[in-house]
C-alpha cells in the first residue's frame, strides 16, 4: 500500500525517495488530461504543502508555458521561498513512455536548465509512475 506523503514530515534527499513521493501523490488511478505537476522542497529537502498541477497542457511542448514555469520556479528559488522543485507529467492512455512524453521531458530540462531542474522528471499514467532516464532525455532538438 502506498502512503500519501505528509508535507514537512517528508524529507527527500535521493531520486529513490522522490520516486516514492510521486507514487504516493499520484496513486493508482488514471488521468483524464495531460498535466504538469510541480512539488517544492525547502533547503533541508522537506516537502512543502503546495502541489501545483498545470492541467490541459498541449500534447507538444509550448514554449510560452515552459518559460512561464521556469520564471515562477526561478523567482521562488531566488526569493528563498523554496530551494528546489520536482516535476511530473501525467496523461491518460497506455503506460508506456511515448515520443511525446520524452519531448516534453527534454523541453522541461532544456528550458529550466540544471540549476532549476535538479531532480529527475517523472511520468505518471494509469497505475504507473516512472522516471525519465538520461537516455530518454537524449534526442532530436
Nearest to residue 112, comparing CAs of 55, 69, 63? Answer: 69
When pLDDT is cut at 50, 70 and 90, the band that residue 27 belongs to is confident
Sequence-ordered list of residues with C-beta below 8 angstroms from that of 16, at least 6 positions apart, any chain: none
Q: Tell me, what's the pLDDT at 8?
A: 66
Domain boundaries, the chain: 19-135
14-24, pLDDT tens digit by residue?
999 999 999 99
Architecture, CATH, for domain 19-135:
3-Layer(aba) Sandwich (3.40)
pLDDT for residue 139 is more than 70: no
Mean pLDDT, the chain, whole residue set: 90
60-105, pLDDT tens digit by residue?
999 999 999 999 999 999 999 999 999 999 999 989 999 999 999 9
Is residue 122 a contact partner of residue 22, using CB atoms and an 8 Å limit? yes
Q: Tell me, what's the pLDDT at 141?
A: 45
Q: Max alpha carbon distance in the chain (Å)? A: 40
Helix boundaries (H) for the chain: 15-26, 63-78, 99-116
Amino acid at each position: 500500500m502506498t502512503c500519501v506523503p505528509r508535507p514537512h514530515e517528508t524529507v527527500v534527499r535521493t531520486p529513490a525517495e522522490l520516486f516514492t513521493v510521486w507514487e504516493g501523490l499520484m496513486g493508482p488511478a488514471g488521468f483524464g488530461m495531460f498535466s504538469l505537476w510541480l512539488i517544492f522542497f525547502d533547503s533541508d529537502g522537506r516537502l512543502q504543502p503546495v502541489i501545483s498541477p498545470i492541467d490541459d497542457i498541449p500534447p507538444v511542448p509550448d514554449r510560452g508555458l515552459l518559460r512561464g514555469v521556469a520564471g515562477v520556479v526561478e523567482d521562488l528559488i531566488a526569493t528563498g521561498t523554496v530551494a528546489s522543485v520536482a516535476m511530473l507529467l501525467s496523461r491518460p492512455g497506455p503506460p508506456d513512455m511515448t515520443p511525446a512524453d520524452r519531448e516534453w521531458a527534454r523541453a522541461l530540462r532544456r528550458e529550466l536548465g540544471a540549476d532549476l531542474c535538479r531532480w529527475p522528471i517523472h511520468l505518471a499514467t494509469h497505475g504507473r509512475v516512472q522516471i525519465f532516464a538520461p537516455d530518454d532525455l537524449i534526442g532530436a532538438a
